[in-house]
Amino acid sequence: MPRTTERQRALRETRDALIRSFLIGRSLSWDGLDEDLLFSDPDQSSQNSRGALRDSSDDWDTDSSVSSMDFTSSGSSDAMSVSSNSAIQGFSVLIGILQRLESRRVLHERRTPRGIERLVDRLHRLKNSNAIGDASLYRHLVRMKAEAFDSIVRLLEPHEVFAVKDPRRAGASVAEQAAVAFYWMGRYGNGGGVVDVSFVCGCAEGSVVKFTRHVCQALYDMREQVLCWASEEEKDTAKTWVASQSGCVEFSGGYSMVDGSLVPLAFKPGKKAFHREYFDRKCQYSLNIQLVVLPTTYRVIDYVVGYKGATQDSRAFAASDIMKRPGIYLEDGEFVWTDGGYGLSEHTCGPYDHVVAAKSRDFRRFNLTVSKVRVRSEHAFGYLKGRFQCLRGLRQLIRDEDDHDRITMTVVGALVAHNLALRWDGTADRRTYLDLSTLSAEAVKAWEDLQQVNPQREALERQMWARRVEAYETKSATLRDRLQNQSQTQQDKERRQGAKDLRERLHTALFAAKDWEFEDTTEASRLHDRTEEAYQRWLQKKAERAEERRVQRQQQRQARGGGRGRGRGRGRGRGRAA
């Protein structure tokens, strides 16, 4: 059933109020009114009012001294008559008022004063100003530099959502719509309300919603081009940073890291949206998003958006394309850094459990080194939510699946705009949103070089991508035949074993590079997440339990054998008579 808009509700209430006042004024009985006239469908209100005016000449006898108008109900044969010429005039005035209301595009005057300076005009003035602080104010309003804003506007202009359908009413420019949308996306709480944003931006409240929807839709359609996987040069830069940060060359295979975060919702979802599924572990309603980022530039190279707050991180990340088709993105020896909540996989590597790490210094050393690298994923989320603070408390109501899709499009649009805007962010700009004092000069220079279009680099990227796709398809065909002969338990066991072998290889390489010696663990104990002492106790208990089960089974077999021999004559055998 289609929703009733605010305009349709206002027209219906106004129509009912006018008819009631007209009838009360004429001292008519309320019980005999035609319900179809009073409570007609709002979509047909214009047709009903025009039809009533057109049919008034038939129902009203203007030549007689006593005129009458009949209200005939579809479920009743009762009729009422209104006499006197004043009733005819009053009813004509009522129909005229309704027709004028329905012909208006806007029923209520906007509360924003029309003389206020528009945000896009203010941005243009700040851009051309050389006063101290104007550049910072520009960045504060739209959460990015002027060069980034102009570039994003040029990318949005060709989109069909901004096409002018009626030349007589061109509407707002793309720059104005983008300015309003980015201002709204950069706020949360009371400052992010539609009323507050409309007063600051100098536009109507409905325009804030409309402009934001248009901009987010255009950004959403650019997601495949912007939120793409890392290039070969980006990989080399990230691998160099990981190797230098960890002090181990083998760690450079994890040039990307994944982490999850919750996007709180300002309003409780409706019952039709199954609001219980949005209730997360922090006792709030939210969305679950997963981002794979590069540690050098914080660029988002893969994402999962759309899962509700009650979803676990491991389940949400399992829906990503990198986990479904890892061979296309990851070559031999490459993996993604995760935290302890993502489980075990041969394509990911995470730290040891905190309970296990508390028992051994060997585990703590490995976890500390991993945290120095993987902390950049936390920085990336702080960078994103520091720029577009609407992700700290999204002020959009979810009533059904359509609203869920719309809010998902808003989040993806923020990711696309963030990826585009950070290309113009230097070290000083990054510190505006996040303290990134550890950013190396090589990483900044590498990102600046990436903005230069190089045909040779593009050809190399296409060649490497085609090679990975071909290798993955060949490997998948072989793997598919092998997995058909394995049960799900065997597949899970092989997957966990592959993840443990990867972590053990990195652990051994790290201690060799740092010239450390293992104190209380061995290779066998680390594969079982135990110290050597705990591992030996576990083996002893395992052997004791196996011996107990063996003795118990032997006793059961003897008991069954003795019973059958005595009761049925089927013992160990029958002796021969001498």
6-15, 278-287, 442-451, 452-461: least confidently modelled range: 442-451
Residues 202 and 342 in one domain: no
Residues 441 and 353 in one domain: yes
Q: Phi, psi at residue 110, to the nearest 5°?
A: -70, 150
71-85, 111-125, 174-188: least confidently modelled range: 71-85
Q: Looking at residues 449-471, what average pLDDT do you find?
A: 61
Q: Which residue has the higher pLDDT, 571 or 506?
A: 506
Count of positions (residues) in the chain: 578
Q: How many domains does the chain have?
A: 4
Q: Give the rounded percent of residues in the chain with a pLDDT score beyond 70.
A: 74
Given a contact cutoff of 8 angstroms between Cβ atoms, the answer to whether 353 and 150 are in contact is no
Buried b (16+ CB within 10 A) or exposed e, 440-467: eeebbebbeebeeeeeeeeeebeeeeee
pLDDT above 70: residue 398: yes
CA torsion through residues 441, 444, 446, 449, sign = negative
130-139, 189-198, 237-246, 484-493: least confidently modelled range: 484-493
pLDDT above 60: residue 122: yes
Q: How many CB atoms lie within 10 A of CB 312?
A: 15
Last residue of a domain, one of 172, 199, 221: 221
- Which tens digit of pLDDT belongs to each residue from 198-216? 999 989 888 999 999 999 9
Highest mean pLDDT among 131-135, 463-467, 505-509: 505-509
- pTM for this structure? 0.73
SS3 84: coil
Domain that holds residue 187: 119-221
Residues 15 and 61 in one domain: yes
Residues 242 and 387 in one domain: yes
d(CA 120, CA 182): 11
509: exposed, middle or buried (Cβ count in 10 Å: 0-12, 13-18, 19+): middle
- Which tens digit of pLDDT belongs to each residue from 216-246? 999 999 999 899 999 888 999 999 999 999 9
Q: Which residue has the higher pLDDT, 235 or 561?
A: 235
Q: Which residue has the higher pLDDT, 386 or 167?
A: 386
pLDDT above 70: residue 440: no
- Which tens digit of pLDDT belongs to each residue from 335-358? 999 998 898 888 999 999 999 999
pLDDT computed for residue 2 by the predictor: 55
User: Which amino acid type is present at position 148?
Assistant: A
Given a contact cutoff of 8 angstroms between Cβ atoms, the answer to whether 394 and 285 are in contact is no
> Which residues does 155 contact at the CB level (< 8 Å), separation at least 6?
222, 420
Q: Looking at residues 505-510, what average pLDDT do you find?
A: 95
pLDDT above 50: residue 578: no
pLDDT computed for residue 362 by the predictor: 94
pLDDT computed for residue 286 by the predictor: 96
State the SS3 of 489-516: HHHHHHHHHHHHHHHHHHHHHHHHHHCC
Give CA separation, 230 vs 236, 331, 451, in Å.
10, 13, 14
pLDDT computed for residue 483 by the predictor: 67
505 occurs within a structural domain:
no
pLDDT above 50: residue 380: yes
Q: Looking at residues 7-16, what average pLDDT do you find?
A: 79
pLDDT computed for residue 548 by the predictor: 94
pLDDT computed for residue 427 by the predictor: 54
pLDDT above 60: residue 434: no
pLDDT computed for residue 458 by the predictor: 62
pLDDT above 80: residue 262: yes
76 occurs within a structural domain:
yes
- Which tens digit of pLDDT belongs to each residue from 410-419? 999 999 999 9
pLDDT above 80: residue 454: no
497 occurs within a structural domain:
no
Residues 252 and 367 in one domain: yes
Q: Give the rounded percent of residues in the chain with a pLDDT score beyond 90.
A: 51
List own/partner pairs for 440-448 with CB under 8 A and 24 or more apart.
440/241, 440/296, 442/237, 442/240, 442/241, 443/237, 443/241, 443/296, 443/297, 446/233, 446/234, 446/237, 446/296, 446/297, 447/296, 447/297, 447/423
Task: Tell me how far the alpha carbon of residue 116 is from its chain's centroid.
Answer: 35
pLDDT computed for residue 438 by the predictor: 45
Residues 308 and 185 in one domain: no
- Which tens digit of pLDDT belongs to each residue from 269-317? 998 889 999 999 999 999 999 999 999 999 999 999 999 999 999 999 9
292 occurs within a structural domain:
yes
Q: Phi, psi at residue 542, to the nearest 5°?
A: -65, -40
Q: Looking at residues 460-471, what average pLDDT do you find?
A: 65
pLDDT band at 181 (very low <50, low <70, confident <90, very high): very high
pLDDT above 80: residue 572: no
- Which tens digit of pLDDT belongs to each residue from 79-107? 444 455 677 777 788 788 888 777 776 66
435 occurs within a structural domain:
yes
Residues 135 and 165 in one domain: yes
- Which tens digit of pLDDT belongs to each residue from 31-61? 444 444 444 444 444 454 444 444 433 433 3
Residues 96 and 132 in one domain: no
pLDDT computed for residue 546 by the predictor: 94
Residues 415 and 281 in one domain: yes
Q: Which residue has the higher pLDDT, 445 or 365?
A: 365
27-36, 142-151, 161-170, 364-373: least confidently modelled range: 27-36
pLDDT above 70: residue 154: yes
pLDDT computed for residue 576 by the predictor: 52
Residues 280 and 369 in one domain: yes
Residue 258: beta bridge partners? 292
Residue 305: beta bridge partners? 289
Q: Looking at residues 449-461, what average pLDDT do you find?
A: 58
472 occurs within a structural domain:
no
Q: Looking at residues 450-465, what average pLDDT do you find?
A: 60
1-5, 127-131, 236-240, 370-374: least confidently modelled range: 1-5
559 occurs within a structural domain:
no
Last residue of a domain, one of 452, 481, 504: 452
Residues 276 and 422 in one domain: yes
Given a contact cutoff of 8 angstroms between Cβ atoms, the answer to whether 355 and 367 are in contact is no
Last residue of a domain, one of 53, 78, 103: 103
pLDDT computed for residue 302 by the predictor: 94
Q: Return the biggest CA–CA distance within the chain.
A: 142
d(CA 246, CA 514): 10
217 occurs within a structural domain:
yes
pLDDT computed for residue 58 by the predictor: 40
pLDDT computed for residue 460 by the predictor: 64
Quote the tokens at residue 382: 């702080």
Residues 296 and 187 in one domain: no
